[in-house]
């Protein structure tokens, strides 16, 4: 699994993400599955991103800062 800081790891757990053993190429860190899948990815040399996989094999990608995730989890409690 890619190296992520302890605060981000705790925040993802609190928000219900399942951790993936992502390889270095894909950079996949964690995901939530439901009607759509939300993955947190950090490909080498790129920024941290949420990839939302929608029905019909469509995707939306959003850049995200790890502090945004931690702050969301703190408000969620």
Summarize pLDDT for 19-33 with one digit per residue, the tens.
Answer: 887 655 778 889 999
Q: What is the pTM for the complete model shown?
A: 0.76
Q: Is 22 within the bounds of a domain?
A: yes
Q: Is 29 within the bounds of a domain?
A: yes
pLDDT attached to residue 1: 42
Q: Is 18 within the bounds of a domain?
A: yes
In sequence order, the 6+-apart residues with CB closer than 8 A to the CB of 15 are: 32, 69, 72, 73, 76
The number of distinct structural domains making up the chain is 1
Q: Is 1 within the bounds of a domain?
A: no
Q: Is 61 within the bounds of a domain?
A: yes
Q: Is 42 within the bounds of a domain?
A: yes
Domain holding 43, by residue range, is 6-76
Number of H helices, E strands in the chain: 2, 5
Q: Is 52 within the bounds of a domain?
A: yes
């Amino acid at each position: 699994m890619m190296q992520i800081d302890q605060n981000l790891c705790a925040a993802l757990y609190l928000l219900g993400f399942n951790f993936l053993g992502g390889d270095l190429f894909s950079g996949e860190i964690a995901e939530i599955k439901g009607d759509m899948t939300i993955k947190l990815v950090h490909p080498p040399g790129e920024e941290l991103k949420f990839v939302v996989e929608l029905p019909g094999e469509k995707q939306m990608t959003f850049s995200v800062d790890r502090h945004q995730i931690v702050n969301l989890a703190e408000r969620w409690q």
